A = this chain, B = another copy of it.
């Protein structure tokens, strides 16, 4: 009897050792947190201490119920997950909360936990820190006359910006998606490493990248479509992974009320002048590009297509003025921006439409419709990815080298 017990303990110890060895902590865990961890086949193991809880779920993908151990610790191992960055949350007896063992990422209007399912280094190389000259991401505070508030933009300056004090640079204005904020492109997107690596390889021109927050409301204006799930109880029941992009659709058609007019006014009145006053910027429309993901892509099209005297390069990553079904009329769609293809093609050097292959055919159809209407455009499809940050990292990697040529 006793020998059996010992044998059981030995076995358990062995299994555990093997398991722990195979399961590598997510790169996004805080300090030395061991969970969540990821197996070589992309299954993830989550672990939550909730001794008195009756039901604990991990809100990732379709969600996974966790199992309680005798020590009050809940665990679950998921099915294999898609590579790249995923938002997730925990549901503890009906409370949707962040897992304090990972860094927090702002999406869907509140703080989610995050897990990164690693790609092979050969694929991930372009967004990893490498031993190349590094640019810097700075926080730029500025006062907006249009909104009557202090705002904060994140500004990437290229590696030689400091050592080359006479040089001036073109500017890419780059927006996040619904329910996210100005931290997204750095924290979830690794914009700094992507640009550092592209510039070091001579693939992209040195440029300044300005990442602002697309939330812009005037005093008294309704900002609810921006506020996201942090605002009200109900939407909390939707999984964070439904977050940016799909969220507007699920947020009571709030998007219908999205005009983006205030952001455009704020950007042209407050942001662009602040950037051009504060940084060494090349002047003129040919040195100005704008892109965004999801709702930020919609905002980009709204802002640029009505101000083509100020922008030459336009990028929509999983978001634009089209691609969501419905008929396309070159004369009237997108506020008639494409009514004169020849004039449009003269003004816009790059019209970029990016999408994840798992996001459906809408964007491809829109690109085809534009092409049939005689509008030059670039269609980029990220293989095997959905409405998530790996799609948008890949979009930026393909888009940035096309700028300012």
**Does A32 lie within 8 Å of B92, measured CB to CB?**
no
A112 within 8 Å of B (CB atoms): yes
Q: How far is the CA of A342 from the CA of B93 in the complex (A)?
A: 64
Contact A94:B139 (CB < 8 A) given known A31-B230, A112-B100, A230-B30: no
**Does B92 lie within 8 Å of A103, measured CB to CB?**
no
Q: Which of A17-62 contact B (CB under 8 A)?
A: 29-34, 48-56
A299 within 8 Å of B (CB atoms): no
Chain B, Cβ-Cβ closest to A196? B141
Q: How far is the CA of A155 from the CA of B137 in the complex (A)?
A: 10
Chain B, Cβ-Cβ closest to A143? B131
**Does A50 lie within 8 Å of B92, measured CB to CB?**
yes
**Does A34 lie within 8 Å of B92, measured CB to CB?**
no
Q: Which residues of B contact A95 (CB under 8 A)?
A: 48-50, 53, 56, 90, 92, 97
Chain B, Cβ-Cβ closest to A48? B95
Select which of B48, B72, B138 is within 8 A of A137 by beta carbon.
B138
Q: Which residues of B contact A136 (CB under 8 A)?
A: 138-140, 155
- Among A197-205, A220-228, A354-362, the stretch that binds chain B is A220-228
Q: How far is the CB of A263 from chain B (nearest CB, A)?
A: 15
Q: Which of A107-160 contact B (CB under 8 A)?
A: 109-112, 129, 131, 134, 136-143, 150, 155
**Does B233 lie within 8 Å of A30, measured CB to CB?**
no
**Does B30 lie within 8 Å of A94, measured CB to CB?**
no
Residue in A48, A71, A162 with the greatest tally of chain B CB atoms within 10 Å: A162
Q: Which residues of B contact A140 (CB under 8 A)?
A: 134, 136
A278 within 8 Å of B (CB atoms): yes
Q: Which residues of B contact A101 (CB under 8 A)?
A: 110-111, 230
Instruction: Please tell me how many copies of the chain the complex holds.
Output: 2
Q: Which residues of B contact A186 (CB under 8 A)?
A: 139
Select which of B31, B97, B129, B215 is within 8 A of A100 by beta carbon.
B97
Q: Which of A156-184 contact B (CB under 8 A)?
A: 162, 165, 179
Contact A55:B52 (CB < 8 A) given known A98-B97, A143-B131, A223-B32: yes
Select which of B34, B53, B99, B231 is within 8 A of A32 by beta carbon.
B231
Q: How far is the CA of A140 from the CA of B93 in the complex (A)?
A: 41
**Does B92 lie within 8 Å of A93, measured CB to CB?**
yes
**Does A233 lie within 8 Å of B138, measured CB to CB?**
no
Chain B, Cβ-Cβ closest to A32? B227
Q: Which of A49-90 contact B (CB under 8 A)?
A: 49-56, 71-73, 89-90
Q: How far is the CA of A55 from the CA of B25 in the complex (A)?
A: 30
A279 within 8 Å of B (CB atoms): yes
**Does A94 lie within 8 Å of B162, measured CB to CB?**
no
Select which of B52, B53, B100, B236 is within 8 A of A230 by beta carbon.
B100
**Does B192 lie within 8 Å of A139, measured CB to CB?**
yes
Chain B, Cβ-Cβ closest to A280? B162
A303 within 8 Å of B (CB atoms): no
**Does A98 lie within 8 Å of B111, measured CB to CB?**
yes
Chain A residues with CB under 8 Å of chain B are 29-34, 48-56, 71-73, 89-90, 92-104, 106, 109-112, 129, 131, 134, 136-143, 150, 155, 162, 165, 179, 186, 192, 215, 223-224, 226-228, 230-231, 233, 236, 278-279
Which 3 A-B pairs give the minimum distances between C-beta atoms?
A50-B95, A104-B104, A32-B227
A-B contact pairs, 13 of them (CB 8 A): A29-B230, A31-B109, A31-B179, A50-B95, A52-B94, A90-B95, A98-B98, A103-B104, A103-B106, A136-B140, A137-B139, A141-B192, A162-B278
Known: A33-B110, A33-B227, A98-B99. 14 other contacts (CB 8 A): A31-B231, A32-B231, A52-B94, A53-B92, A71-B233, A73-B233, A90-B97, A97-B98, A100-B111, A104-B104, A129-B141, A134-B140, A138-B138, A139-B192
